[in-house]
Structure 1
Amino acid sequence: MTTDTSWVGPAMTQTVPWVGTAGITFGETTGTRAVAHLPDDAAQHNHVAGPHAAMIFGLGETASGAVGLAAFGAVMERATPLVVRSEIAYLRLAKGPLTAVAQLDRDAADVLAELDAGTRPEFTVSVVVTDADGRETSRMTVVWTLRPNR
C-alpha cells in the first residue's frame, strides 16, 4: 500500500513562508525520504559567488522537515514537530542550483509508539546536499521531536 504524500511540498510552501521566499521546490517526498531543490539566485550568494551558508542550511533543514511531515502528518492534530538540534558540515564550495536529499533514520512506527506511550519522541533525519553535477557539498543531521499538543 502506498500513501499519497504529494500534499507535502505545497503544505510546506504554504505553512512556512520562508520556503517560498527562498524558492525551494520539492521532488520526491515519502515517509522515509524527501528531495528539495534550491535554485541558483545571485541575491542569495555569499562572497565567493555560491549559495550563502544560511541558504544551504535552510535547504537541508527544509528537506528534513518535509520527510518528517510526510512521516508524521497524520498526528499533527496531537503533536507539533520541532527541531531539537542540528549539525552541518560544509564539504566543498557549492555553486549553482542545489539538491537536498533527506532520509528518516528511524522507523516511524517506533516514533509513533513513543508518542502513543505519552513521551516526547525524537527522530533523526540525515541530509546530503549536492550541486548540479551531483557532487556532495554538505552533510547535515537534524534531530526533531514531536511535542505533544496540550
Structure 2
Amino acid sequence: MPAMSATDAERESLGELMKQTVPWVRTTGVEFVEVAAGRVVATLPDHPDQRNHVGGPHAAMIFGLGETASGAVVLAAFGHCLDRATPLVARAEVEYRKLALGPLRAEAVLGRPAEEVVAELDAGERPEFPVPVIVGNADGVTTAELTVVWTLRPNR
C-alpha cells in the first residue's frame, strides 16, 4: 500500500519535532516541504555565511541537509516505535556530483519496507536500513547523492 501524503499539520508537526530534537535543524533554516511515511523533501535556503570557497553551500551543509531529510523519513516511518527503539545513523556515504549553487532541495526515500524493519525489531534484532537521498539545486539538477544507513537500537 503506497504511503499517503501528510497533511499540512502533520508536515508542520514533523518539522517542529525535528527542530526541537535536533538543534542544527533550527539553526540552519532547513524546511520540510513534503512528508510521507516513506518519503520526505526538505529544503535549505542559500545563506552567504554557509558557503564554501567557490560560492556554493559548504559540503557540510549539503551533507547535513541530506542527513536531516533522511532522519525525517525515519521519524515519519518509525515514530510509533520511539518508545522501544532509538534511531541512530550507522554510516553514510556521499557523492558530490556537481557544484551546488543557491538554495537546495533534498528528497529522501525509505530504502526498505517499514514492515520488514519493524518485524526485525519485534524479533529482538537491531535492524539496519538505507535511506537514499538526492540533493539538487533550484533547477532540479542533482548536485549530490547520499545513502544514509540507519539502525533502530532497541531501548533497554
TM-score, normalised to structure 2, is 0.93
Partner of 2:49: 43
AA aligned to 1:58 is: G
1:47 alignment partner, SS class = coil
Deviation at 1:130, TM superposition (A): 0.5
* Alpha-carbon distance between aligned partners in 1 of 2:35 and 2:153, rounded to the nearest angstrom: 23
Deviation at 1:101, TM superposition (A): 0.1
* Alpha-carbon distance between aligned partners in 2 of 1:79 and 1:145, rounded to the nearest angstrom: 9
* Alpha-carbon distance between aligned partners in 2 of 1:128 and 1:2, rounded to the nearest angstrom: 21
Partner of 2:150: 144
Superposition map of 1:1-150 within 5 A: 2=4, 4=6, 5-6=10-11, 7-150=13-156
RMSD of aligned residue pairs (Cα, Å): 1.2
**For the Cα contact (< 8 Å) 2:5–2:35, is it kept in 1?**
no
Distance of aligned partners of 1:3 and 1:132 in 2 relative to their CA distance in 1, 3 Å threshold: closer
Structure 1 stretch displaced more, 2-11 or 121-130: 2-11
**For the Cα contact (< 8 Å) 2:34–2:41, is it kept in 1?**
yes
In structure 2, the gaps of 5 or more residues are: none
AA aligned to 2:138 is: A
Deviation at 1:3, TM superposition (A): 7.9
Deviation at 1:51, TM superposition (A): 0.1
Q: How many residues align?
A: 150
Deviation at 1:141, TM superposition (A): 0.2
Distance of aligned partners of 1:2 and 1:98 in 2 relative to their CA distance in 1, 3 Å threshold: closer
Deviation at 1:2, TM superposition (A): 4.6
